[in-house]
Structure 1
Amino acid sequence: MKKILFTFIILFSISISSQEKEVNEKIQYLINNNIISDDIVDSIFKKHRRHEKDLKLLINKSKESSYLYGQFYGHRSLGRINRDLSLFEKSISEYNKAVEITKQLKDTISELKVLNSIGSAYRRQDDIPNALNYHQEALDIALNIKNPSIDIKKSISISQNSMGNLYISLRQYELALNEFSNSIVVQKQLNNKLGLAINYQNIGNAKEELGDLDGAYENYLKSLNFNNALENSVGKIICAYSIANVLIKQKKYDKALKTVDTVLQRAIKQKDMYYLSNTYNTLGLAQVHLNKLNPAQKNLNKALQIASNYNVQNIVVRSNENLSLLYEKKKDFKKAHQYYKIAKEEDAKTYNNLNLLYVNELRSRYDKQRTKNQLKDLSKQNEIAKLQLEKNRNIFILIASLFVLLIVILYSIIRERSLRNEKKFLTLKQEALQSQMNPHFIFNALNSIKLYIINNEQKNAVYYLNKFAKLIRKILEASNVKEISLREELETMELYMSIENIRFNNEINYTFSVDENLKLDSIKIPPLVLQPFIENAIWHGLSSKKGIKKIALSVTKTEEDYILISIEDNGIGRKASAKIKAGKTTNRKSIGIGLTTERLRSFVRGLEKDFSLKYTDINGEKNNIEGTKVEIKIPLV
């Protein structure tokens, strides 16, 4: 017996020594040939990529020889191993090391793959903001590449698919379906069976959440067929518990139990805690509905324990809900209420984070819209240049004319055309101004609203977010017209004031008074013409003032054919403001008032009467300046 044991130990030692020698030889081959092809490295090291010890050896020897791709492959593979074991912090740490190496290698394709992998690791923890950031970063990089390769197209599809999953977490299921539809088009073009399996699974998930159980079941089956063809063990597990959940909702409890029970041992063997917690949770729920309460309790507690240990937040919520249902069936209503309360509290934590994400996403959408507006503005500037060239050509024709009579006729024609071009020039300039509505104001407003959310002031957040949305809508609507009613302008300015006032902790007391005899709907003025004056009153008059801050806007009819709009503040005055501005190291030249004056001039052109603009310092009892008044006198159209 001792001889046999001794022989076994010797054979085992020889086997280990042989394996170590094989690993060292492969690593040395990779280093010597400086191989940077992922397919070649993977084919050589495939046997060892699930062994942590071998990967660490690859990393260390690659560092000694400055072989970057070996370091990248090792860290990325360790990230995948830890992710599959639901050790997300370790996984993300390894993935981040891999990302840094891709930048040194200038390997964009590998960088995109790892960024999406990091996003997936965060998504499994229901850390939606971080997941969104990494998937969006990968998508932005890929979309900016001209003539994308097949690998880049795959990356775009993966990012779109992941964004769809994030929309499901945000409960925006129609948006999720749109992302999955975009992703699946690419996967079909590439005939990527694994990508198709994942997309059909996700489409089923979105349809299930929308209540389309038949549609969900159909897509889950499509996904299962692809996973069976690929012999994809993880895919089979996901499809099994997803199909079982649909069957439970269809009250086909026996079939659901049989479906999920067939993959339980496979899920245990896989050692992926994310999928294992899902499997136990679905199994336990089916058993609850079949009144198999003792095994159900055991399986649901396992699901809850795994989800809590590995931060699988959605299963923490669902397993608590299912335990509440179980104790309700046991007539233990006290425990049922306790688990139900925990489920709602855990769900609220996630959903509060998602509200914060929504504001960040709104900011991201605005940045994209601003870029679009800049491109539109560039197109308008080109058109302005063409108009200027046409004007110069007309002047040349005028000078070149030899006959006096012809000169007179040509002059009349050119003069009329010049006036039209000038008016069109001013209109385009107005549109350009509107398309560039102060991005700092939008950015600061969003940050202010975000603070309400962070401070859990939900009512204030919703109240000001609604006002902000109305203001943006009015600005966009105004950008398409040359004039609006005075009522619309005053409503827009009131929205603008309420948003700006957030940054002053609502310390500014602003009032709007209008002559009751005026018909505001019939009085027309250029859109957003009052905004620069109110902005000046706030930032040059009130921002540096201590104590009570006031702005008063009034509209009166001074003469038969004129209205007078007065904007009065109790700020520091123009002289003090100019001194502060002069003392700054950098001064940004403001063009808002100049452009507004030009727009007013264009507005009254052709009318018999002109507009006027007047600034007045408000003097106090001791002849000290106590504010500024701006009076804008506009003729009625």
Structure 2
Amino acid sequence: MPIGFWSVILGAMCVISCGEKQKRSFNAFDTYLQFYQEVNDSLSKNPRYVCAEAQKRMTATTDSTTYYHYVMLLAKAYMFRSDMDSAAVCMNQAEAYCHRNAPTPQISDLYADIYNMRGNVLARQALVDSAVICFSKALNYRLNGDRKEVLPDISINLADAYVRTGQYDKGALWYRKSLSFFDSLGTPEAKRFPAYYGLAQVYMELRDFELCDYYYDMAAQWYSEMMPYEKCIYLNNRGNSYYFRKDYPHALEMFRKELAFARSYPDMAFEVHLSEMNLGETFLLMNQTDSAAFYLAKCEDFFRSIGNISALYYLDTQLIELALKQNNLALARKRLAEAVKPDYVEPNMLHIRNRYLQHYYEETGDYKKAYYYQRENQRIDDSTRNERIKMRTAEIDLKYRQDTTLMKQKIFIQQKENEVLGLHQRMYVWMSVCFLILILAVFIYLYNKKQRHLFRMRSQHMINTLRMENIRNRVSPHFIFNVLSREINSHSNGYSENMRQLVKLMRRNLELTEHLCVTLDEELDFVHTYIDLERKSMGDTFALSLHVDKTIDLTREILPSMMIQIPVENAIKHALREKQGKKNLWIDIRREPTGAICIKIRDNGGGYKANSHNRGTGTGMKVILQTVQMLNNNNKKHIDISINNVPLEEGETGCEFVVILPQGYDYNFLKAV
């Protein structure tokens, strides 16, 4: 429809695809903003896709405020689909959430989105005064929020609403304020075209076509950067400017481009039928009634189905004139009687209706009423001329004040620059000296800190290495002399075999002494050799049970050296050797669900007794505990060791040694130091 109303309706949707980049720590809201940027273009191209994606992400969002931002994004997508009822439901849900929470910058931002969307909905319903109130609230909430980068878009929406009410001076003021916001935010020129074609709309309403074309040409430079619905706005408004100049061929050219473009997007039904209405009226004014009837019939069902009162008011106006040009006075009378009667009609729409009503009453011979509507249009034209004069006066005054302010600012700035120049020269010298001193001090501090650190590391490494050597020197004889003393006192037939096993044990013990950690395979081999040497002295009642999970690769899993050997030796020496009857030793190695390896060494020797004469010196366990303590210092997950008496079958009691080796444990001793 080639009138200002439809330009503003489309323009009011600018904020729906505004840029929303925030410099915050990365959180759920940043994820929302990133998603918003990804689907920004799709809001007008494919709003159904945006609906589906937004609903999917809502189910995975735990932050409540972010969740309702997704709800508002859903409302915007519904608006592009002309599903105003669903959009209203989403806005009500978000507003109820805001009412339940204390005011914060984030809640203010959400309120701003809600009132901005409400303003868009009210603008579509021709409730323009209410739309102005909503846009004003949205602007105030946005000023109290964090996302200042969308202020220009709300200013443009407010300007659009003022233009629709015929307050062109206020409309131009808010368009220019949006440009000021763009300047403050450093917004690129390519993003400012909505303000330019908004100003062009104002000057078109005032019939100042020179300035109108100036601003349209500025907006046209960035046509390729516009999103689909913004291109529709531009083509529609540019067509309007030719329409009001009565340059109908150029108007038809623009409206046809708009129609062809809108038809390439399935969800642009509103824009398609709007361009059809534009074409219908233009053909009507060119007296091509067949073409006019064709296009008006195509869009009538759509606007009646969505119940858009403003659109229906204008459509009825065209249909009345069409009936008159078809010489069907009865049909014109019927359509006039059945025409919708909105509470508010814009000046442009009223001007067109009055012109056609004048024609109608001339045809019916009621010249008194025809003259009345002619006078009404003259009054509207006079009002428009007055607005134009008021606008010119305001612009001249504004330009004078801006020029005066700029001149005063330049003089003041020049004076201050002269005062500051001398101060800067002295300050630069002192800053250079201080900077050099600071660099020297930092260098000396870092050098000394590094030297102290290296000295401390070398000292710690030496101390721990000596501790480990001391531990190993105490451990090695502990096993060897126990077996050797027994073999020297034994001269049975198996002496030679035992001596070979002893030699193997001594050689293996010497090899293990050089390593802090060994594989499970190496440790078990050492234990088997030791038990084979002890088996003869233990008698026929001694039995070893060894179980290893098939999931454990013995050649890859690491553990501290002697971790199994020492508990096994303690069990044989202090628990089983003097025991009467069955002597059982169990070694169980399993992988736990967490991935850790659990090693259990259990005997049936009556359990650990602190006061027993057989309890030994405890040297072996000290070795284990000291080794584990140093390794645990380098790991978040620790090796856990426990020793407990446990009940066994047949009423016996045993001692159980349990060690848990965490998965991913670091056995790098040098790193620990």
Using structure 1 for the length normalisation, give the TM-score: 0.50
Deviation string, structure 1 residues 571-600 (Cα, Å, up to 9, x no partner)? xxxxxxxxxxxxxxxxxxxxxxxxxxxxxx
1:42 and 2:50 aligned = no
Residue 318 of structure 1 corresponds to 352
Aligned to 1:360: 394
Distance change (3 Å), C-alpha of 1:384 and 1:343: same
* Matching residue of 1:173: 209
Task: Tell me the residue number matched to 1:226.
Answer: 261
Aligned partner of 1:139 in structure 2 is: 179
Quick check: 1:50–1:77 contact (8 Å CA) kept in 2? no
Contact 1:237 1:275 in 2 (8 A): no
Unaligned runs of 5+ in 1: 1-22, 386-637
Structure 2 CA distance for aligned equivalents of residues 80 and 383 of structure 1: 48
How far residue 262 of structure 1 moved from its aligned partner, in angstroms, is 1.5
Letter in 2 for 1:366: Y
What is the alpha-carbon distance in structure 1 between the residues aligned to residue 66 and residue 190 of structure 2? 24
Partner of 1:252: 288
* Aligned mate of 1:78, from 97, 118, 122: 118
The 1:259/1:318 distance shift into structure 2, 3 A limit, reads same
Name the residue aligned to 1:61.
97
Deviation, 1:43, is 4.4
SS in 2 for 1:76: helix
Q: CA deviation at 1:179?
A: 0.8
Which structure has the greater CA radius of gyration? 2
Aligned partner of 1:267 in structure 2 is: 303
What code does the residue aligned with 1:210 have?
A: R
2:219 to 183, 197, 214: 183
Distance 2:410 2:185 in 1: 22
1:386-442 deviation line (CA, Å, top 9, x unaligned): xxxxxxxxxxxxxxxxxxxxxxxxxxxxxxxxxxxxxxxxxxxxxxxxxxxxxxxxx
Go from structure 1 to structure 2 and tell me whether the alpha carbon gap of 1:359 and 1:382 turns closer, same or farther (over 3 Å shift).
same
Distance 1:168 1:98, change over 3 A: same
Structure-to-structure mapping, 1:64-463, within 5 angstroms: 64-66=100-102, 67-146=107-186, 148=187, 153-154=190-191, 156-188=192-224, 190-231=225-266, 232-300=268-336, 305-306=341-342, 309-370=343-404, 373=407
Shift of 1:145: 3.0
Equivalent in the alignment of 2:578: none
| TM superposition shift of 1:44 | 8.5
| Match of residue 611 from structure 1 | none
* Cα distance in 1, alignment partners of residues 414 and 140 from structure 2: 42
Q: Deviations over 1:114-149 (max 9, x none)?
A: 221122122222221222222221122113432x26
2:546 aligns to what? Answer: none
Per the TM alignment, residue 346 of structure 1 is displaced from its structure 2 partner at its CA by 3.5
Written as runs of structure 1 = structure 2, the 5 A alignment for 1:516-595 is none
Q: Which has the higher contact order (CA 8 A, sep 6+)?
A: 2
AA matched with 1:254 = D
| Separation in 2, partners of 1:134, 1:366 | 19
Consecutive unaligned residues of structure 2, counting only runs of 5 or more, are: 1-53, 420-673
Deviation at 1:379, TM superposition (A): 10
Output the CA distance in 2 between the equivalents of 1:381 and 1:45.
51
Fraction of identical pairs, as percent? 15
Match of 1:9 in 2: none
Q: Distance in 1 between matches of 2:143 and 2:383?
A: 36
**Aligned partners of 1:68 and 1:105 also within 8 Å:** yes
How far off its partner does 1:289 sit? Answer: 1.7
Q: Is the 8 A contact 1:184 1:196 kept in 2?
A: no
Q: Partners of 1:108 and 1:29 in 2: how far apart?
A: 27
Comparing 296-305 and 270-279, the one that deviates more: 296-305
The 1:225–1:367 alpha-carbon spacing in structure 2 relative to 1, beyond 3 Å, is: farther
- What TM-score, normalized to structure 2? 0.48
8 Å CA contact retained: 1:220, 1:239: yes
**Aligned equivalents of 1:255, 1:70: Cα separation in 2:** 47
Once residues 61 and 405 of structure 2 are traced to their aligned partners in structure 1, the CA distance between those partners, rounded to angstroms, is 45
| C-alpha deviation, 1:27, in angstroms | 8.7
- Measure, in 2, the Cα distance between the counterparts of 1:314 and 1:263: 20
The one-letter code matched in structure 2 to 1:338 is Y
Letter in 2 for 1:247: F
Count of residues in Structure 1 that have an aligned counterpart in Structure 2: 356
Three-state SS of the structure 1 residue aligned to 2:378 is: helix
Cα distance change on mapping 1:300 and 1:61 into 2, 3 Å: same
Per-residue CA shift, 1:33-76, capped at 9, x if unaligned?
54299678514885697443542332122232243333233222
Deviation at 1:322, TM superposition (A): 0.9
Query: What CA distance in whole angstroms lies between the structure 2 residues aligned with 1:49 and 1:29?
Result: 26
Q: Is the 8 A contact 1:253 1:289 kept in 2?
A: yes
Contact map agreement 2:75 2:91 (CA 8 A) in 1: no
Partner AA of 1:55 in structure 2: M
Code of the residue aligned with 1:111 in structure 2: it is L
Alpha-carbon displacement from aligned partner over 1:204-237 (angstroms, at most 9, x marks no partner): 2112223332222111111111221234233223
CA contact (8 A) 1:207 1:215 kept: yes
Contact kept? 1:317, 1:344, Cα under 8 Å: no
Shifted more, 347-356 versus 319-328: the winner is: 347-356
CA contact (8 A) 2:109 2:146 kept: no
Compared CA separation, residues 350 and 28, structure 1 to 2 (3 A): farther
Give the Cα separation in 1 of the matches to 2:334 and 2:376.
Answer: 18
Instruction: Find the residue that maps to 1:305 and give its secondary structure.
Output: coil
Displacement of 1:86 after TM fit? 1.1
Query: 2:223 aligns to what SS in structure 1?
Result: helix
Cα deviation for residue 158 of structure 1 reads: 0.9
Q: Judging changes above 3 Å, is the alpha-carbon distance between structure 1 residues 191 and 85 closer, same or farther for their aligned structure 2 residues?
A: closer
CA distance in 1, matches of 2:391, 2:262: 33
Secondary structure of the 2:126 match is coil
What RMSD, in angstroms, separates the aligned Cα atoms of the two structures? 3.5
CA distance in 2, matches of 1:36, 1:183: 36
Distance change in 2, residues 1:254/1:46 (3 Å): closer
Counterpart Cα distance in 2 of 1:381 and 1:299: 72
Give the distance between the partners of 1:115 and 1:93, measured in 2 at CA.
13
Structure 2: distance between partners of 1:353 and 1:32? 49
Verify the 8 A CA contact 1:227 1:235 in the aligned structure 2: yes
Equivalents in 2 of 1:44, 1:122: separation in Å?
24
Amino acid at match of 2:159: G
Is contact 1:303-1:319 (8 Å) kept? no
For residues 40 and 187 of structure 1, the distance between their equivalents in structure 2, rounded to whole angstroms, comes to 31
CA distance in 2, matches of 1:111, 1:174: 29
Q: Which amino acid aligns with 2:115?
A: H
Tell me the CA shift for residue 79 of structure 1: 1.8
Contact kept in structure 1, 2:119 and 2:130, CA below 8 Å: yes
Q: Counterpart of 1:198 in structure 2: which amino acid? A: I
> In the aligned structure 1, how far is the partner of 2:398 from the partner of 2:196?
16
